[in-house]
Structure 1
Amino acid sequence: MVEKSDGTLTEGSLAHLKMSLPHGTDLEQIEFLDTKNHGGIHNLLAYVKHLKGQDEQALQILREAEDLIQREYADQADMRSLVTWGNYAWVYHHMGRWAEAQAYLDKVENTCKKLASPSRYRLESPEMDCEEGWALLKCGGQYYKRAKACFEKALAVEPENPEFSMGFAITAFRLNHYNRNVISLDPLKKAVRLNPEDTYIKVLLALKLQDIGQETYVFQYASKFYRKKGCVDRAIQLLQKALEARPNCAYLHYQIGLCYRAKLFQVKKATNMNPRRKERENVDTLVQQAINEFQETLRLRSTLEMAYVYLAEMYAEIGQYREAEENFQKALCMDNIVDHVQQDIHYHYGRFQQFHMRSEDKAITHYLKGLKIEEMSFARERLISALEKLANSRVRRNICVVESVSLLGLSHKLKGEVKEALLCYERALRLTAQLNAMF
């Protein structure tokens, strides 16, 4: 079976599945549903191959499933592999290859024992409930109620889990077509909040909002799509339409501000970060438009943390560093900010100190403050990258070399690169010893 490098299925592999699926299974739902659970769809395809007597092909697909699970769930690989190992045992049993079947049964039993399951071959966990929910959801409308129950059970244990929320929202959306009493709007909103980069779930939410006559929100979500695709003018048009219905919506003004900010970066990138006089005028216009929108955002909602951050960035773009500092400090001093937003604030303020104020020490201080917040997030990844680049630059320029090499070690450690981290720490110790010997 052919597979893309990102783990998604190609047209060829989907064609295999379409020819093999039991009657009543909706292939389009499988093709567009699997935003994350790539291992699960391989398990389903392997099962169908087994039903058709194509056991060698089933084994190959299970190997692919196992590889995908290792990549997608490295920290939960054993638990997430239980279904795949059970399928291995099933296929080998029917092939009469008892030793291989027993080997996989032993792996299941050992994992259940390690995870303190009272059953030898079954593990009660929200992850397993989620896995069962995805499998049922792929197999047609008659299984949707059972799938919904599986996701509900998983969410009862981890109500803020993005994958569980995604599965439940998709199931509720599909059930809503059969039964209008099934509430799907709130689960979809929650799933979008917990999976902000997932386009599929945003499309479902947009369809639901359109269905209940809330087109304004459709414009809002569509504009995000166009902005992230680089079609910023189209995004602004949609947001302006939404503003006609909700002129005092702070979030719409915030989104328009982000669009002008995105256009600014497009111009700077096209001119290699050094716009000429005519382009400079365009840059200044975009900056002022962004400033106006972020100011209006904060007039309408003074608690929107990132509006202060982006407003500060725009002031920094035109050299108004006092105004930039004031707005950064407002964001830094706010209370009850969620962890990933705190990380983002420290990242942007560190960049301001590094590139505008030319204070690498203050930049490092804020990158480290952000990294002390241990939530795994995109902002955390950016903090690690910024710290690593700055530390490398300081080593090359022979600035505070021991400290900079130690910071490199930290960045490797945070990325899980233990060997590289140890090499940096050993180098830092050697440099320290050499300095002590000199004095």
Structure 2
Amino acid sequence: MSEFTRNALEKVLPKLKCHFTWNLFREGSISNHMEDRVCNQIELLNSEYKATMYNLLAYVKYLDGENEAALECLRQAEDSLEPKQDDEAEIRRLVTWGNYAWIYYHMGQFSEAQAYVDKVRHVCKKYANPYSMECPELDCEEGWTRLKCGRNERAKMCFLKALEEKPSDPECSSGLAIATSRLDEQPEKQFSVDALKQAMELNSKNEYVKVLLALKLQKMGEETEGEQLIEDTLRRAPDQTDVLQKAAQFYQKKGNLDRANNFLVRALRSTANNAPLYCLVMCRYRKELEQLQKTGNAETSASVEKMEGLRRLTMEYMHQALQRKRSPLNSYSDLMDYPEVERCCQLVFSTESPGAEEQQLYQRYCDLQEYHRQSEGLAALKAFLRSCSLTETTCIETEEMKQQA
């Protein structure tokens, strides 16, 4: 009976519309901070939209080998839809049930998997297809999931398909506007601006759409209007991480690096394990340090003190970013382009007698150059480290890092 059920499931499961059949991630492309980003979204979203993120979190947990945690996420997805008993909620449950079926199948619990397949069939048979159906609700659900995974082109197609049947749907319009904005990087193009404005009209509570529009207006030379949108959005959503990051981008382009850094630091309060965000803050402080070094009064005591503070901040955020990566060596190549890291290292390592933390970063910088097969300056750096008398413990840790690479 079990083998029969397994064979039957293997024919049916690929037909289900859910995360296991959407091909969301290219092999090895899932980022280490995806889970942190999704959890942050769950905290910010209204209850009726949490199911989308819980389903994605369940899939991420499954990919990490945490099947029980994945099932708990699916239970939370169901709970978030529980208050709604209309047809739309029932259709959106199809994604959750499909994920249940796949996870139970991979766990070898075929009867449980079959039970959820039966739930899907019970709903879909109303629409003349036993295991899947074409409807704007599912297209929209797939679109938001793909958008979160960076599959912007496919997400755009999902939203366009949904809007063919529901042309004034605010959720689909917002999704299309965001996808189009990400794909349309040419400032002279008008379509994404129009899409963002339409999305704002249909859903005035979507603060992320507003900051995207602000950035587009800034590109078009309408910075004052864009800044008004930014300020209005920050009053309404002062702690929304994605809004804070886009606000930082706006002020960085405007040249106000202090304010840009402030927004990024605020964003880190609610997504503390986001290594790339720590890296971004590090780069912002590095840029501010470079600008200060280029000024004519860089030798004044006030400037020297500020530069020292910026070096410390650059080093601190670099250290925080590296701590949050799974592999100390691979983190360099994952975190950012190599030249960017090297510039930060060269700016930070400017004192003649570094402390213990700086010595460890020097050692990591040596490993970084060795990892990228760049020998210039490597011997001098290693000689410098030996002169600083690094402890035996640090050397052992370094050898362990090399073995992990």
Q: Normalized against structure 1, the TM-score is what?
A: 0.45
Name which one, 1 or 2, has greater alpha-carbon Rg. Answer: 1
User: Taking CA–CA contacts closer than 8 Å with sequence separation of 6 or more, which of the two structures ends up with the larger relative contact order?
Assistant: 2
